[in-house]
Amino acid sequence: MRKRVVVTGLGAVTPIGNTLEEYWQGLKEGRNGAGPLTKFDPVNFDTKFAFEVKNFDPLLYIDKKAVRRMDLFTQYAVATSIMAIQDSGINTEEIDLERAGVVYGSGIGGMETFEQQHRAFLEFGPGRVSPFFVPMMISDIAAGQISMQFKFRGPNYATTSACATSSHAIADAFMIIQRGTSDVMICGGSEASITKMAYAGFNSARAMSTWNDRFLEASRPFDKDRNGFVMGEGSGTLILEDYDHAVKRGAKIYAELIGVGLTGDAFHLTAPAPEGEGAFRSMRDAIRDAGIQTTDIDYINAHGTSTELNDLNETKAIKNLFGEHAYKMNISSTKSMTGHLLGASGAIESIAAVMALKNGIIPPTINLDEPSPECDLNYTPKVAVNRDIKYALSNTFGFGGHNASLIFKKFQ
């Protein structure tokens, strides 16, 4: 008998809001978080805009000395984890800390730290490289810092699977609780990769939009004029909890996580498998794991990156799996508002799906002026809509052919 797993706490730092409440309000309003780059001078770069986090103050959550020893991605992760624990109402002095763990990911890790320390190395030599360079840079350090913050001594590790990173973290945390190993898990992902090297690499790969004179319109999933993703940054954290444990302590419950689907394309470094075959199997396996039917799904928070191949193949996968029901669901890509948070995207989009379930409101896909001919589903264009949602599915698909689908159920 598998344990039931519920969501009891949420925390978010995003380009459209630095708390759960601000983020959710931004999604409902269709707020656009894009703007000109401020983190570095983009004069020599093809893309000169991004979805940056605004007005984040780590000192609201972390002491000054600790901040200096954390890359920005870790600051985001610790901050949203503190938010989520506070939101959950968990008193860490009243739970078994050996049955509380962390699975937390980053697709790239401390890119900013790496670039800063590499410049110091080239200019001044190895003696000027910080002793904190490695523990600030490595992708697993956010999970480590979070576990130390709360003294959680259960399972503690990181996932790294490109854009699917934080969905894999959530899936792993789900399965750990299901099998009875832990009662409480902090999970999610964080990314702070708006840096010179990341921009140079993605521009060279021709993956990012270059609509510098139309940056507010550049992230346009499923639109016929889409021409690449737009980089975002931030973090999302979920508290997953054993249902009985949550009920015993009188926790508020946002939703229930009931199924995961994890597949590999085994096809190409960056392109999705033809016809969205890997995405098809990921969604199919999540539905099977949840023990429901395709016709039960009301809403899909799509991966929807605003790239030509991804949007087309995700749409094909949805059509192939759901048949006529594909046209009865609402679908949206919240990346149209937040940009693509890479390894953190699955976490903030799972939060969007959970809040949609709880509130009966589906966030829109903004900038969808004219869908591609083959992208003919209901992508909830322009404005949010009210709809009673019982089951929501969140998709994330990463470079290397990593696919993850999560199914959340309205809690009753």
Catalytic residue numbers, as ranges: 163, 303, 340
Q: Which of 367, 373, 357, 369 is nearest to 316 (CA)?
A: 373
Q: Where are the alpha helices (DSSP H) in 68-206?
A: 72-88, 111-124, 133-137, 141-150, 165-178, 196-204
Backbone φ and ψ of 294, nearest 5°: -60, -35
First to last CA, the chain: 20
Which stretches of 192-265 are assigned E, i.e. beta strand?
Answer: 234-242, 255-264
What is each CA distance from 146 to 79, 168, 395, in whole angstroms? Answer: 9, 18, 25
For residues 223 and 186, what is the distance between their CA atoms, to the nearest angstrom? Answer: 36
Strand pairing of 299-301 and 391-398? parallel
Helix (H) or strand (E) holding 405: strand 402-410
Strand pairing of 402-410 and 391-398? antiparallel
